Amino acid sequence: MSMKALVYNGPGKREFKQVPIPKIESSKDAVIKLEATTICGTDLHIFKGDVPEVKEGTILGHEGIGRVHEVGSDVTKFKVGDRVLVACITACGSCVYCKKNLQSHCLDGGWILGHNINGTQAEYTRIPYADNSLHNVEKYEGKVSDEALLMISDAMPTGNEIGALNGQITEGDVVAIVGAGGIGSSALVAVKSFNPGLIIVIDPDEERLRVAKEKFGADVGINPTKVDVVEEISKLVATVNVGERANLTNKVDVAIEAVGIPQTFDTCQNIIAPGGRIANVGVHGKAVNFNIQDLWSQNITLATGLVNAYSIPELLEKVASNRADPSGLVTHKFTFDQMEESYETFGDASKNKCIKVFVKF
Ligand SMILES: [Zn+2]
Ligand SMILES: [Zn+2]
């Protein structure tokens, strides 16, 4: 029995081809027949050769929704036919890291799908530790759209856990999100659900600023190529009524870094108020300057992280009760036989005004 899958064949080489359907390998595995999948920025990094540990022949993808096709004898929470959401992080559920909600560091899991083992850009995928790595979504039928659901595999938990929760956003906070691409947009959707006082989005792309405001509800967009960001934020915080939060420094309570380059990290440290939190979500390829000489006395917190996906159940509830809506992150739809085309569109996201693709089987 064979199936179609998107396979990594070394840097720059992808192949859409027939491969064998996965089988149960351990008693805690489940095999899922996928109904939808998507592409992540990390998949593009793999094709660029930035993630050398990925072996040639690996099926990529770590996001998806589908139905349980087969279960191992020790799977207790799922049965054949259940509709499930695949978490981007595989969790054994019992190791020291899983117990601390640091599932991305799970001793026998973490980010393994489409990385160390075959992933979800295929008609079927094998999920280890199914009881802790899948979520039953039957009860959200009719309440959470498939588009929103697919965004809760990875995009939303990343924005929520590493952006909003690490930023410790409380009602009324002034929040700046630096970067309005995919990561910034999902952080924005998550941040919005915590009812901050003011959301400022900073990005050099006017179109992205427009989308951040019109589609995802940011209050203000700042283009750093046109104005001085620190000055602009100072004016904003001073004039906009954000209550006691309009602090003496006219800086922000929370700065979310959603790009991953030295300039955007700098912006965060330049605009953070005393007691503020910098939450780094961006994937960095080189060192940044940390201005500890200015910041040591400012009582700020700097948080970094890789998504752990522990907030998926909470996000499903939030979306089902209309307190957050990530469906707008899906900008392009394809069928699975258009997998190559979807990679081309997502690969040039800014030109194609693409945030996330929805690939239906
Ligand atoms: Zn991802
Ligand atoms: Zn674990």
User: CA–CA separation, 159 vs 152, rounded Å?
Assistant: 10
Report which bound ligand comes closest to the CA of 61.
Answer: 1
- pLDDT (tens digit per residue) in 312-342: 999 999 999 999 999 999 999 999 999 999 9
Contacts of residues 225-229 at CB distance under 8 Å and 24 or more positions apart, as own/partner, are: 229/202, 229/267, 229/270, 229/271
Report which bound ligand comes closest to the CA of 309.
Answer: 1
Q: pLDDT above 70 covers what percent of the chain?
A: 98
Bridge partners of 84, per DSSP, are 66, 136
Strand order in the sheet with 272-280: 220-222, 198-202, 174-178, 252-257, 272-280, 301-303
C-alpha 93 to ligand 2 mean position (Å): 5
Report which bound ligand comes closest to the CA of 97.
Answer: 2
User: CA–CA separation, 3 vs 123, rounded Å?
Assistant: 6
Locate 50 and state its tokens. Answer: 């930035």
Place of tokens 């930035």: 50
Report which bound ligand comes closest to the CA of 60.
Answer: 1
User: CA–CA separation, 141 vs 63, rounded Å?
Assistant: 19
C-alpha 313 to ligand 2 mean position (Å): 18
C-alpha 88 to ligand 2 mean position (Å): 14
pLDDT tier, 241 (very low <50, low <70, confident <90, very high otherwise): low
Share the mean pLDDT of the chain: 95
Least confident of 11-15, 246-250, 350-354: 246-250
- pLDDT (tens digit per residue) in 33-50: 999 999 999 999 999 988
Homologous superfamily of 2-154+308-360 in CATH? Medium-chain alcohol dehydrogenases, catalytic domain (3.90.180.10)
pLDDT tier, 350 (very low <50, low <70, confident <90, very high otherwise): confident
Q: Where are the domains of the chain?
A: 2-154+308-360, 158-303
C-alpha 38 to ligand 1 mean position (Å): 9
C-alpha 103 to ligand 2 mean position (Å): 6
C-alpha 154 to ligand 1 mean position (Å): 5
C-alpha 274 to ligand 1 mean position (Å): 32
Per-residue burial over 74-112, b if 16 or more Cβ lie within 10 Å, else e, is ebeebeeebbbbbbbbbbbbebebbeeebbbbbeebbbb
Report which bound ligand comes closest to the CA of 101.
Answer: 2
- pLDDT (tens digit per residue) in 94-153: 999 999 999 999 999 999 999 999 999 999 999 999 999 999 999 999 999 999 999 999
Report which bound ligand comes closest to the CA of 106.
Answer: 2
Locate 79 and state its tokens. Answer: 């049965």
Residue 56 has pLDDT above 70, yes or no: yes
Residue 164 has pLDDT above 60, yes or no: yes
Report which bound ligand comes closest to the CA of 113.
Answer: 1
Contact status, residue 265 vs residue 283, Cβ threshold 8 Å: no
Contact status, residue 154 vs residue 63, Cβ threshold 8 Å: yes
Report which bound ligand comes closest to the CA of 186.
Answer: 1
C-alpha 279 to ligand 1 mean position (Å): 18
User: CA–CA separation, 311 vs 304, rounded Å?
Assistant: 16
Report which bound ligand comes closest to the CA of 112.
Answer: 1
Residue 173 has pLDDT above 60, yes or no: yes
Homologous superfamily of 158-303 in CATH? NAD(P)-binding Rossmann-like Domain (3.40.50.720)
| pLDDT at 69 (0 to 100) | 98
Using CB atoms within 10 A of its CB, is residue 301 exposed (0-12), middle (13-18) or buried (19+)? middle
Locate 24 and state its tokens. Answer: 């149960």
Residue 243 has pLDDT above 90, yes or no: no
